[in-house]
Amino acid sequence: MVELVKKPSEEIYEIEFSGHFIPEKFNPLWFATKKLLGKKEAQEAEIINIIQGTYCAFKTNFLEIYVESGRFRVLSKNLASHDLVNDMAISVSKLLKDSLYDIFYINLKLHYSFSSKDEFSKKLNNLLTYQDWSNIFENPQLVGFRVTDSKTNETYDEEKLLSIFPCERQDMEFTTHLYLKNQFIKKDQFISLSYLLEEKQDLIKTNIEFANKVIKRYF
């Protein structure tokens, strides 16, 4: 797999579905009964939180599952486990095909931390033409950045969103998010979401290459 040119303080590879879900149903036991997790792995899974009708989240040694009433996410905080995320998401999309909307997301989420507030601010300002804005503002400071790109074909619409913005987590000081979100909307009713997911299993390679271009230029 392609490597990131700069190691992040946190990395996440995630596949996200939209649909209708009963969150508490999707506990580790459900995954074990569907043979998506081994019995021992399900028993040893760490429950993050379960709120009746609202939320269910747990994690194993390799994967994390987060389910809300309208959203189902499978992720790993180790990019080397991307194949496990793909396999789980494909299996879920087959089992829950009647509960899913014709849309899914493949996301790469990176966090980069800096040594000081000044360094953090300078990195963000690298994303804008500082000289141009300094003629308008007295002391310009970029607080966020979003760019989209889209394409379409007979089978699906695709939108790529790059967003870079400060992280508000208390455990990550002077940290910025670099999120790359790929949205796919299925148009062809004769193919399944699982088919599209299988087609896009290697998208992480393209996303890392894309992220590396941004990191080399701005970080």
- What pLDDT is recorded for position 138? 78
Both structure tokens of 10: 């946190």
The model carries a pTM of 0.91
Dihedral angle computed from the Cα positions of residues 34, 38, 44 and 48, in that order, rounded to the nearest 10 degrees:
-40
Rounded to whole angstroms, the Cα distance separating 39 from 41 reads 5
Position of tokens 């033409």?
129
111: nearest Cα among 2, 6, 217, 216: 6
Q: In terms of DSSP bridges, do strands 100-113 and 64-68 run parallel, antiparallel, or are they unpaired?
A: unpaired
Cα angle for residues 156, 158, 160 (degrees, 5° grid): 170
Query: Phi and psi dihedrals of 209, rounded to 5?
Result: -60, -40
- What pLDDT is recorded for position 114? 86
Mean pLDDT of each 10-residue bin along the chain, 219 residues long: 92 98 96 96 95 94 97 98 98 97 98 86 71 73 84 96 87 89 96 96 96 89
- What pLDDT is recorded for position 9? 94
Rounded to whole angstroms, the Cα distance separating 176 from 168 reads 9
Three-state SS for 99-158 is CEEEEEEEEEEEEEECCCHHHHHHHHHCCCCHHHHHCCCCCCCCCCEEEEEEEECCCEEE
Rounded to whole angstroms, the Cα distance separating 84 from 6 reads 23
Residues 6+ apart with CB under 8 A from 99: 19, 20, 21
- What pLDDT is recorded for position 132? 65
* Residue 168 burial (CB count, 10 A): 8
Rounded to whole angstroms, the Cα distance separating 120 from 139 reads 16
- What pLDDT is recorded for position 129? 64
- What pLDDT is recorded for position 131? 62
100: nearest Cα among 25, 21, 19: 19
- What pLDDT is recorded for position 119? 84
Cα angle for residues 203, 15, 7 (degrees, 5° grid): 65
